[in-house]
Amino acid sequence: MTDKPVILGSPFPPRTGQVVLPPAASELAPADQVRSLYRLSDPALSEMGLEEFLNELLARVQEVLSVDTVAILLYDEEAQQLVARAAKGIEEEVEQGVRIPVGRGFAGRIAAERVSIFIADVDHADIMNPILRDKGIRSLLGVPLIVEGDLIGVLHIGSLTPRTFGPRDLAVLQVAAARAAPGIERARLYAALEHEHRVAMVLQRSLLPQQTINVAGITAAARYMPASYDVGGDWYDFFQLPRGRFGIVIGDVVGHGLKAAALMGQLRTALHSYALEDHSPAQTLQLVDRYMRSLSETAMATAAYAVLDPETGRIRLASAGHLPPLIVGSGSARILGVPSSPPLGAFSYASWTEQEASLEGGETLLLYTDGLVERRGTPLMASIGRLLSVTAGADSAEEACELAVEHVLPFPRLRDDIAIVAMHYGTLPDELSIRLPADPPVLADMRRILRRWLHHHSVQENDSREILIAVSEACANAIEHAYSPAPAAFEVAATRHNGELSFVVRDQGSWRSPRGENRGRGLKVVEAAMDEVEVKPSEQGTEIVMRKRIRK
Amino acid sequence: MSLGDVAITVENSVVIARLTGEIDLSNAQGIEDAVAAGTPNQALSVFLDMSALEYLDSAGIQLIYQLKEKLGIRGQSLKLVVPSDSPAADALKLAGVMDHLDTIESLQAARG
């Protein structure tokens, strides 16, 4: 036994007291002692998970070699450091997240030179790890962890009393290293995939609209349910369009993963943008198709885009190979049959046709992706029929989504993601009475509701325009002049008696007579548009009552 | 979705401001500012094209008067493009200001 360093098979000169060992022949180790290590095979790892596997492996190494400590440090390529990952005997290493620079000290040198190193009597200058120094470690043996030529970490054992680690110890340690390395690598890949999955989920969520619509008796609601193991390319969207109309969209990019999610984001944005340019649904799909085909990657998607005119309840819809929408919430819940059509991105110069449908007050248009209705062993149309029957009684967009989700319950693990979007066309009473916050943007909403009410009462376009201006002016007056800056509200009521329509705009503010040319002009407009106008100031607020006889 | 919008083009010292959507109390000031900002000093006249406008009320009429005043200070004229059957024409007539403003039926009429 000599204290002189022994150099074997390394191009690098060792430091005093360090012995660089040649690769050991594993046959040197008694079979019975390493058998327990061999038993830690891949199936064991997949059953246990990495944490448990490493703990088990280190425990067996400790037992077989009767050492005081055994530890695994993993290589952090970015930081060029080794990080303590698992330990038996001196667990503080891991708990304190010890980091060793590659190239320095015992473990650092093993990593840098990819050699096994034995230190018979530790000179504490050789040890970078403060915990091992504090514990008074005396002898150390370590091996590199290598997978397909890449260093992934270091496995080492240590003794608190001076001890010579021989070829047998080295062989056992190398077997353990060979067992641990692929498992660690695989776990790292899983973690990376997991990370991608999370990124994709965040992307997916951030791309779906968070806000809801609740304007002029039109409400929208939606659901998105991710698949269990993968991120998908489903999306929904809804938005307001010029002339008070609403757009509602459902889509599904073929494929899964970050790419599908990213493409989904592009298509959603493209469709939304073209829609705002006031293109028809069929034209919008065609533009999205051309956009999609201009992208370098080949991909396909199905989508449906519908535009609802709240004044009349009419829907214009175009579908690119998407599943048929449902109309629910009345006695006549129905599947809106769509002609077969190509998906987006599939063919050169594809075009789409448009179809019309009509919503009655109280009905809801429901769009969904295939994840909601595709069930192994169930024909698609039967599954859609079942969806129709469970959602038929839905009284709101929210309820339609809720019932549709219940339809797939209890969902074990979703193989595909699911998107659902619903737009409800609220019923309009014969006598209108609404309360709105005293805030200028509500004027447009008020006009939408009133326009729908006027259409409901078959008021002609010319009369309708004059009434809209007059009532809107009265509301603007309530907002602008009757209030202090504190939050407030006003009410609008509309009634019909035979050929005469009456409108009342009521606020709780104290009336201030119109000042300035502008307000004076507003009241003039009201008076010119209506047959009778009364302004009734009182203690409680101000009422403007307007009447107009309408042409048949 | 913005309620109303304006697209401004400048051609041979003439500014054409095309209004779309609806103009009311909530957005009139913004539209006025946009037209004023989009009018270069060298411009001789501004055409406010209201033919595609879906709604206009007294807040929008106020916009027209304020814009007219601002442009007048710079010696620039304001002309309104108001087809007789348009919602904008209804509003101007109801407010009784149609005859006090410089209006034309269409941009083609101005060019012709």
Q: Which of B55, B59, B87 is closest, CB to CB, to A476?
A: B59
Chain B residue closest to A528 (CA)? B94
Phi and psi at B36, nearest 5°, equal -60, -45
Q: Which of A241, A276, A469 sits opposite B94 (nearest CB)?
A: A469
Please judge whether B62 and A480 are an interchain contact, meaning their C-beta atoms are less than 8 angstroms apart. Answer: no
Q: Are A540 and A508 in contact (CB under 8 A)?
A: yes
With CA atoms as reference, the chain A residue closest to B55 would be: A469
Q: Is A199 on the interface with B (CB under 8 A)?
A: no
Element (H, E) at A405: helix A397-408
- Partner-chain contact B61 A521, CB within 8 Å: yes
Q: What is the pLDDT along chain A (552 residues), one digit of tens a residue?
A: 334 434 333 334 444 456 666 555 444 445 665 666 665 554 555 556 677 778 888 888 888 888 999 999 989 888 889 988 889 988 877 777 788 899 988 999 999 999 999 998 887 667 778 788 888 889 999 999 998 888 999 999 999 999 988 888 888 888 888 878 877 877 777 766 677 677 666 666 666 666 666 667 889 998 888 776 677 889 999 998 877 889 999 999 998 888 888 899 999 999 999 999 889 999 999 999 999 999 877 899 999 999 999 888 999 999 999 999 999 998 889 999 888 899 999 888 899 999 999 999 999 999 999 989 988 788 999 999 999 999 999 999 999 999 998 877 655 566 788 899 999 999 888 899 988 888 898 899 899 889 999 998 999 999 999 999 999 999 998 887 655 666 688 999 999 998 899 999 998 766 556 555 556 788 899 999 999 999 988 877 889 999 999 887
- Which residue among A444, A466, A473 places its CB closest to the CB of B58? A473
d(CA A467, CA A465): 5
Buried b / exposed e across A202-232, counting CB within 10 Å, b at 16+? eebeebbbeeebebbbbbbbbbbbbbeebbb
> What is d(CA A442, CA A452) in angstroms, rounded to the nearest whole number?
16
CB pairs under 8 A between A and B: 74
Closest by Cα among A178, A145, A154 to A73: A154
Write down the pLDDT at residue A485. 61
A503 vs B87: CA distance, rounded Å: 21
B59–A518 C-beta distance less than 8 A? yes
Residues 6+ apart with CB under 8 A from A193: none
Q: Is some CB atom of chain B closer than 8 A to the CB atom of A241?
A: yes
Q: Which of the residues in chain B have pLDDT under 50?
A: none
Spatial neighbors of A35 by CB under 8 A, at least 6 apart, are none
B21 contact residues in A (CB cutoff 8 A)? 242
Q: Spell out which residues of chain B touch residue A278, defining contact as CB-CB under 8 Å.
A: none
Residues of A in contact with B24 (CB under 8 A): 440, 443-444, 472, 476
Asked whether A477 and A523 are in contact (CB, 8 A), the reply is: yes
DSSP per residue, B32-65: HHHHHHTS-TT--EEEEE-TTEEEE-HHHHHHHH
Single out the residue of A487, A473, A502, A9 nearest to residue B28, CA to CA.
Answer: A473
Please state, in angstroms and as integers, the Cα–Cα distance from residue A445 to each residue in A223, A272, A360, A499, B89, following that order. Answer: 25, 21, 20, 26, 22
Which of A525, A527, A531 would you mutate first to test chain B, the one with the most B CBs within 10 A?
A: A525
Q: How far apart are CA B9 and CA A437, in angstroms?
A: 37
Q: Does A481 touch chain B (CB under 8 A)?
A: no
A 258-317 near B (Cβ less than 8 A): 276
Between chains, do B57 and A239 touch, taking CB under 8 Å as contact? no
Task: Give A75 to chain B, closest Cα distance, Å.
Answer: 52
Nearest CA in chain B to A438: B26
Cβ contacts of A505 on chain B, cutoff 8 Å: none
Alpha-carbon Rg of chain B, whole angstroms? 13
Nearest CB partner across the interface for A469, out of B1, B65, B91: B91
Which residues is A143 bridged to in the sheet? A155
Does residue A536 contact residue A506 with C-beta atoms inside 8 Å? no
ipTM of the complex: 0.92
Which residues make beta-bridge pairs with A491? Answer: A435, A506
Q: How far apart, in whole angstroms, are the C-alpha atoms of residue B87 and residue B21?
A: 11
